[in-house]
Amino acid sequence: MAYISNEVMNEIRNKTDIVDVISKYVNLTKKGKNYFGVCPFHDDHSPSMSVSPEKQIYTCFSCGASGNVFTFVADFEKISFTEAVRLLGEKVGINIGTNISVSNKKDEYFDIYSTANKFYQNSLFTNLGKNAIEYLDKRHIDKDTIKKFGIGLSIQKVSLTEYLINKKYSIDKLVDVGLTNENGHDIFINRIMFPIYDLSGNPVAFSGRIYNTKDTAKYVNTKETDKFKKGKILYNYHIAKEYLKKNDSVIIMEGQMDVIRASTVGIDNCIATMGTALTREHKSIIRNMANNVILCFDGDAAGEKATISAIELLEDTGVNIKIVRLPDNLDPDEYILKNGKDSFLAQINNAGNLIDYKMEILKKNKDFGNIKDISSYVNSALKELINEKDNIIVELNLKKLSDNFNIDYETIKDKYNKLIKNKKEVVRDIKPKKTYNKYGMAENYLIYYMLKNEKVLNMVENRVGYFPDKNIRELSNEIIYYFHKYGIINVADFISYISDREEILRTLRDIIAMGIKEDFQIEEIEDYIFVINEYHKEVRVNNLNKKLKEEKDPLKQAEISMEIMKIRGGSRNGIRN
């Protein structure tokens, strides 16, 4: 994996004007120094997105979307940040290739996993890997599929930990990233290894499966780390997104073997969750992947529950949802092995629409010989129909309800119209404004002004010992590091620099979206620093009060009380640290 340096990203961004790029997607109107347009990232009806040619950033003051030209293109085009850099690079004559990833000083994690991935792949094709190859062959996983998905093997006789230590990685780091246990031994032993990739195609974790032994845990996954969080990873995303350029439908499955099996019969637009229900983070990714989503979970009761949960999460995204329910409790892997490619494709091509599936689910546990159950079903069905945008589907279902239960059509239609009238309009995708206590506000203002003013940056570096919020601490450290490395802070370039640090990038974007005033007095900065340092005094006082309650010795109690008075005395006198 090659990396794009920060210098190259900055060169591309400096040769690209954000107003020119965004105006190709959104109509912009100049008002004062900035340009305004309707935000494409939420249901916006009046221009709420501001684009600053001076700062080369955009901000939506309704939904909080913000960033530089790369983040805009990535979010709008439904591509990764890296792909956005490459795309805009090509437009300004800078070709950076295809097998790339954004690079900064945090790449050691990726390097370790990339090295481990190659180690496991090589181990599979040694003499010690013959049994594993035979096992995969029996499961109809051929060498092309092994190569495509980077499948490897962990072997007890060959230590990954020793190999990585010889590569000069520390044992503490290997424990931290989840490849080695506290005793210095490999986490994965005698398992077929399936690498798990992040959205940019970097290996960030492994899922190891037993193949010739018995174990209560069929699969063992890497522990969650800063780079690997199950709720933010979709298996095979990095491969599927390439096929979605030609196919605007993504198939969501439960397990990695389902995805791999589908690929063996030429179906490559599949992704899978990592053993978890779909999350809000998944929702955001899926919404930007394709306009059509096919849910193809396991055919058992758990799969039905997962299907219903996924529908509840995704139905307000605007994507067209279809459902496949496989027979005989089979999962996609089992179904394809048993019935073949053509039968599975028929299931996919004849996937049921959302409203029909909901109607079937509502029928469960209903006795249609019972008038109350009929009434309950019809009322529930009508409540579902008011969310259906296709008038023909609505009309067909109203007639079906009338015919099936011998209820006058006008009665059904009248009840439907009343529900429509009472339905409250809900604006989608508008995030509630975040609220902050005085410490949070002080942190945010200091971060914002650190990015604008070298003097503020130096004041924070020298006089703020510790920010209360973890993300703010890390963001502050990155700003200071960036300034000392490059001698200047450019917000648009800094956004690119932290593009692979998802949580602190989100924190920065939230701060930008606050609309903090540009001008400040140095006395304001003094006050913000004072508030942050007061936080630590409060923490110290609280800890001492707790200690005071537990202390039995009167002399020690007096010492603790004096220390508390000393701390509070400093606060009352307005001493700034």
Q: In terms of DSSP bridges, do strands 49-52 and 57-60 run parallel, antiparallel, or are they unpaired? A: antiparallel
Task: Please state, in angstroms and rounded to a whole number, the distance separating the CA atoms of residues 49 and 65.
Answer: 8
Q: Do residues 202 and 176 touch, judged by C-beta distance below 8 A?
A: no
So what's the pLDDT on residue 427?
A: 40
Task: Please state, in angstroms and rounded to a whole number, the distance separating the CA atoms of residues 141 and 380.
Answer: 46
Task: Please state, in angstroms and rounded to a whole number, the distance separating the CA atoms of residues 352 and 549.
Answer: 65
So what's the pLDDT on residue 428?
A: 42
Tokens standing for 196?
A: 């798990």
So what's the pLDDT on residue 455?
A: 94
Q: Cα–Cα distances in Å, from 258 out to 107, 146, 268, 332, 513?
A: 31, 14, 11, 5, 41
Question: What parts of the chain have a pLDDT lower than 70?
Answer: 1-3, 97-107, 424-434, 567-577
CA-nearest of 161, 239, 140, 146 to 192 is 146
Task: Please state, in angstroms and rounded to a whole number, the distance separating the CA atoms of residues 398 and 407.
Answer: 10
So what's the pLDDT on residue 95?
A: 79
Task: Please state, in angstroms and rounded to a whole number, the distance separating the CA atoms of residues 527 and 257.
Answer: 57
Task: Please state, in angstroms and rounded to a whole number, the distance separating the CA atoms of residues 214 and 335.
Answer: 25
CA-nearest of 200, 2, 15 to 94 is 15
> In this structure, how many other beta carbons lie within 10 angstroms of the beta carbon of residue 577?
13
DSSP 127: G
| DSSP character string of 338-402 | HHHHHHHHHHHHTPEEHHHHHHHHHHTT--TTSHHHHHHHHHHHHHHHTT---HHHHHHHHHHHH
Place of tokens 């003051």: 61
CB pairs under 8 A, 24+ apart, for 121-127?
121/150, 121/151, 121/152, 122/152, 123/152, 123/153, 123/154, 123/155, 123/158, 124/151, 124/152, 124/153, 124/192, 126/155
So what's the pLDDT on residue 97?
A: 64
Task: Please state, in angstroms and rounded to a whole number, the distance separating the CA atoms of residues 285 and 75.
Answer: 9
Tokens standing for 110?
A: 């990726």
CB pairs under 8 A, 24+ apart, for 84-93?
85/4, 85/9, 85/12, 85/496, 88/12, 88/13, 88/16, 88/21, 89/8, 89/12, 91/16, 92/12, 92/15, 92/16
So what's the pLDDT on residue 105?
A: 44
Sequence-distant (6+) residues with CB within 8 A of 72 are 18, 21, 22, 25, 58
Instruction: Give the residues across from 220 on adjacent strands.
Output: 208
Q: Do residues 430 and 63 touch, judged by C-beta distance below 8 A?
A: yes
Instruction: Give the residues across from 100 on adjacent strands.
Output: 2
Task: Please state, in angstroms and rounded to a whole number, the distance separating the CA atoms of residues 318 and 91.
Answer: 31
Sequence-distant (6+) residues with CB within 8 A of 537 are 567, 568, 570, 571
CA angle 540, 545, 551 (to 5 degrees): 120
Distance of CA 559 to the CA centre of its chain: 50
Q: Do residues 51 and 127 touch, judged by C-beta distance below 8 A?
A: no
Tokens standing for 270?
A: 């599949």
